[in-house]
């Protein structure tokens, strides 16, 4: 029997886009979450470049640079945490791979059709697979 991992996430497309992101689904309110995530991201040599306290949205934006490219983590007061990148989808795929290897993070199954809009339907193959890494 395998141990239950403390954090779960979805590797999924952004709504109406083929760009992938990571959405954390459980465990983000634990005090150790950010520390455990930083430990996992060490495999990519991820370093914080800057952070912004977006007080009007009750969230923090943390900008990273890594061996795989730049990405941003957002965390709000309700426990919603996302990792995304406008400039480096390769970084998002690499983070997913790092988290899959971790004993603390578990990837949830995703229905990719749930995130498509009329505009994006039919542009990618449907189902449970992400678009190919570019």
Q: Which residues contact 26 (CB under 8 A, 6 or more apart)?
A: 7, 8
Q: What is the pLDDT of residues 49-79, one digit of tens each?
A: 999 998 777 899 999 999 999 999 999 999 9
Has residue 59 been placed in a domain? yes
Q: E strands, 1-134, where?
A: 7-13, 20-26, 47-54, 59-66, 69-76, 81-84, 105-107
| Number of domains the chain contains | 1
pLDDT averaged over the chain? 87
CB 92 within 8 A of CB 44: no
pTM: 0.82
Tokens of 118: 């009329």
Has residue 30 been placed in a domain? yes
Has residue 130 been placed in a domain? no
CB 104 within 8 A of CB 5: yes
Has residue 128 been placed in a domain? no
């Amino acid at each position: 029997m395998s141990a239950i991992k403390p954090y779960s996430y979805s590797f999924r497309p952004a709504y109406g886009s083929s760009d992938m992101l990571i959405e954390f689904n459980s465990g983000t309110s634990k005090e150790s979450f950010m520390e455990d995530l930083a430990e996992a991201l060490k495999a990519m040599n991820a370093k914080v470049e800057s952070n912004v306290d977006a007080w009007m949205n009750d969230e923090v934006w943390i900008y990273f640079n890594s061996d795989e490219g730049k990405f941003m983590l957002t965390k709000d007061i309700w426990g919603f945490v996302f990792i995304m990148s406008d400039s480096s989808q390769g970084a998002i795929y690499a983070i997913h791979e790092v988290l899959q290897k971790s004993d603390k993070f578990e990837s949830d199954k995703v229905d990719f059709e749930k995130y498509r809009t009329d505009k994006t339907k039919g542009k990618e193959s449907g189902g449970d697979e992400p678009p190919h890494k570019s």
